Amino acid sequence: MFDNTYVRLPERFYARVQPSVAPDPHLLACNQDLIRDLSLQDFLGGDRQAAQFFSGNRLPDGAEPIALAYAGHQFGQFVPQLGDGRAALLGEVIGRDERRYDIQLKGSGQTPFSRNGDGKSALGPVIREYLLSEAMHALGVPTTRAVAAVRTGDVVQRERPLPGGVFTRAAASHIRVGTFEFFAARNDQEALRALAGYAIERHYPDVGNDDYVGFFDRVLERQAALIAHWMDVGFIHGVMNTDNTSIAGETLDYGPCAFMDEFRFDKVFSSIDHGRRYAYGNQARIAHWNLARLAECLLLLHEDQPAFEAVLERFPARFDELYRQRMAGKLGLSDARPDDAVLIKLWLDHLQANTLDYTLSFRRLADSLAAEALGQFGDFGLRWRQRLAEQAADPERVRQKMNAVNPIFIPRNHQIERAIEAAINDDLGVFHDLIAVLKHPFKDQPEYSQYAEPPAPSERVERTFCGT
Ligand code: AMP
Ligand code: MG
């Protein structure tokens, strides 16, 4: 069932690894729909066997586990060697959609790239990534996916001793901007050319095999669309280093990420982001910066700086356009005009000034169309009604269109923390509730209404930590 191509690239692209043994693996969650879509069902024969596979204890036929080499800019500083320090790529499968997916175990032990790390993962990051990545998928945001979560029976030492876990992830690939940087830093043009050719064939097959500017243009387009979508749903990635920037344009690495409750342009959750580099409202600027790092690598293959600069310069305007389209849709506008940027800003200023919940405010705004209750939205309310009047649509239709793109349920940080704390104590109730409810983020699910609510003051969780 595996069809591995990355391992056929030159040996300096990776290190072969052996996942470490989990003493007593138990399946915590298993994504049956995805397993079917990836044609992985042969993998499984009951929960016990699945736990053996998804902990790395047993390798499925055809798996060739490797840890990938990459570098990266972390908080603006270049680190020439990072690599998979706690992950093993088992191999690639072709899904029912005929696309190729990486199947990776995360938290399966040390690799030659582990540096001082133990190569393991605590249960918390496993549960966080499972819930967040599946929620993103259900919201329509390009992302790596959650295949399974297991508890290993190990104890891992973090700020306190914690149960260990392994997360199984499916991704379009694990090629990052940092993978290009790894070879560029070594001035290894041959490897860069092989990597670029591979990435083009795998992700942008309609781009010419040595059309590096065309490739760059497509990567940039996907990043612009991705960040616009993050902003749409109120997502803060938290660690947008170049090693976490996927060439395929997927959300990659759910470390200290979070969805915001009340709206703030400069909202930060990550405990290590002291300079607010990766704040909510800074994400497009950072993506642009990361893309400049990719262009620098590609320049080693094709010395046409003006051509790369011309593409790079398009990013801010392209992002603004994609963002405006998304936000206009959330506000019920049937088209997005350049001057709608003013209306969008007025709305967000209103949310920030009144510490309003980002997600639920869009639903309340839509519901106000039925209730004729206007006053609550201040200056914005009047301007918005005028703008809607210009498109002469039936208010009930507008309300339905808004509710189709504005979620009720997001993976709220305090609920994620609740799910983790309970799971550490062997209670998977909240985890499984959240898996179920977040599958249908736009649908009213009265039985789960508590999960739609923002945290009470005593429930607020303001800080998130990396999985390290
Ligand atoms: P991240 O913060 O997840 O993007 O990871 C940054 C780098 O640190 C990557 O090279 C990871 O593989 C490595 N790393 C993070 N946690 C561990 C760990 N527990 N053991 C070994 N390496 C780790
Ligand atoms: Mg990472």
Convert the pLDDT of each residue in 400-429 to its tens digit. Answer: 999 999 999 999 999 999 999 999 999 999
Split at pLDDT 50, 70, 90, the class of 47 is: confident
Q: Comparing C-alpha atoms, which of 395, 320, 323, 407 is closest to residue 362?
A: 407
Q: How far apart are CA 451 and CA 30, in angstroms?
A: 21
Q: Is 46 within a domain?
A: yes
Is 299 exposed, middle or buried (CB count within 10 Å of its CB: 0-12, 13-18, 19+)? middle
Cα of 239 vs centre of ligand 2, distance in Å, is: 8
Across 42-46, 69-73, 194-198, least confident range: 42-46
Task: Give pLDDT, residue 44.
Answer: 74
- Tell me if 1 sits within 8 A of 40, measured CB to CB: yes
Q: Is 34 within a domain?
A: yes
Range of the domain at 52: 5-171
Q: How far apart are CA 67 and CA 83, in angstroms?
A: 7
Nearest ligand 1 atom, CA 244 = 4
* Residue 205, token pair as written in the block: 């097959």
Q: Report the chain's mean pLDDT, rounded to a whole number.
A: 96
Determine the average pLDDT of the residues in 66-86. Answer: 98
What is the DSSP-derived secondary structure letter of residue 335?
Answer: S
Q: Is the pLDDT reported for residue 333 higher than 80?
A: yes
Q: Is 77 within a domain?
A: yes
- Tell me if 154 sits within 8 A of 23, measured CB to CB: yes
Q: Is 362 within a domain?
A: no
Determine the average pLDDT of the residues in 112-131. Answer: 97
Instruction: Find where tokens 């898996």 sit.
Output: 435
Split at pLDDT 50, 70, 90, the class of 244 is: very high
**For a pocket test of ligand 1, which of 70, 82, 244, 271 has the largest count of ligand atoms closer than 8 A to its C-beta?**
82
Task: Give pLDDT, residue 24.
Answer: 97
Task: Give pLDDT, residue 378.
Answer: 85
Q: Is the pLDDT reported for residue 158 higher than 70?
A: yes
Task: Give pLDDT, residue 297.
Answer: 98
Cα of 224 vs centre of ligand 2, distance in Å, is: 20
**Ligand 1 pocket residues where CB is under 6 Å:** 82-86, 113-114, 117-120, 239, 243-244, 253, 255, 466-468
Split at pLDDT 50, 70, 90, the class of 331 is: very high
Task: Give pLDDT, residue 371.
Answer: 77
Nearest ligand 1 atom, CA 468 = 16
pLDDT > 70: what percent of the chain?
99
Q: Is 44 within a domain?
A: yes
Q: Is 246 within a domain?
A: no
Task: Give pLDDT, residue 372.
Answer: 65
Task: Give pLDDT, residue 468.
Answer: 53
Split at pLDDT 50, 70, 90, the class of 36 is: very high
- Ligand nearest to the backbone CA of 68: 1
Among left, alpha and beta (phi > 0; psi -120 to 50; other), residue 441 is alpha
Determine the average pLDDT of the residues in 337-342. Answer: 96
Q: How far apart are CA 36 and CA 227, in angstroms?
A: 29
Q: How far apart are CA 329 and CA 432, in angstroms?
A: 31
Helix axes 413-424, 123-138, angle to 10 degrees: 140
Task: Give pLDDT, residue 393.
Answer: 85
Q: Is 425 within a domain?
A: no
Q: Is the pLDDT reported for residue 319 higher than 80?
A: yes
Nearest CA to ligand 1 atom 13: 85
Cα of 174 vs centre of ligand 2, distance in Å, is: 10
Distance between first and last Cα of the chain: 32
- Tell me if 252 sits within 8 A of 246, measured CB to CB: yes
Query: What proportions of the chain, in percent to the nearest 5, are helix, strand and coil?
Result: 45, 15, 35
Task: Give pLDDT, residue 46.
Answer: 77
Split at pLDDT 50, 70, 90, the class of 37 is: very high
**For a pocket test of ligand 1, which of 155, 257, 468 has the largest count of ligand atoms closer than 8 A to its C-beta?**
468
Split at pLDDT 50, 70, 90, the class of 310 is: very high
Q: Comparing C-alpha atoms, which of 112, 110, 126 is closest to residue 21?
A: 110
Active site residues: 243
Q: Comparing C-alpha atoms, which of 146, 140, 69 is closest to residue 104?
A: 146
Determine the average pLDDT of the residues in 196-210. Answer: 98
Name the domain count of the chain.
1
3-state secondary structure of 146: strand
- Tell me if 1 sits within 8 A of 38, measured CB to CB: no
Q: How far apart are CA 127 and CA 43, in angstroms?
A: 22
Split at pLDDT 50, 70, 90, the class of 465 is: confident
Task: Give pLDDT, residue 276.
Answer: 96
Split at pLDDT 50, 70, 90, the class of 116 is: very high
Q: Is the pLDDT reported for residue 435 higher than 70?
A: yes
3-state secondary structure of 190: helix
Q: How far apart are CA 283 and CA 292, in angstroms?
A: 14
Task: Give pLDDT, residue 376.
Answer: 78
CA 208 to chain centre: 28
Q: Is the pLDDT reported for residue 171 higher than 90?
A: yes
- Tell me if 169 sits within 8 A of 147, measured CB to CB: yes
Sorted by sequence, the CB contacts under 8 Å of residue 359 that are 6+ apart come out as: 233, 234, 259, 261, 406, 407, 408, 410
Nearest ligand 1 atom, CA 466 = 2
Determine the average pLDDT of the residues in 276-304. Answer: 98
Is 198 exposed, middle or buried (CB count within 10 Å of its CB: 0-12, 13-18, 19+)? buried
Q: Is the pLDDT reported for residue 64 higher than 90?
A: yes
Is 142 exposed, middle or buried (CB count within 10 Å of its CB: 0-12, 13-18, 19+)? middle
Task: Give pLDDT, residue 346.
Answer: 97
**For a pocket test of ligand 1, which of 14, 86, 179 has the largest count of ligand atoms closer than 8 A to its C-beta?**
86
Split at pLDDT 50, 70, 90, the class of 373 is: low
Determine the average pLDDT of the residues in 143-166. Answer: 97
Q: Is 162 within a domain?
A: yes
Determine the average pLDDT of the residues in 242-258. Answer: 97
Q: Comparing C-alpha atoms, which of 124, 47, 155, 194 is closest to residue 461?
A: 124
Instruction: Give the chain's radius of gyration (CA, Å).
Output: 22
Count, residues in the chain: 468
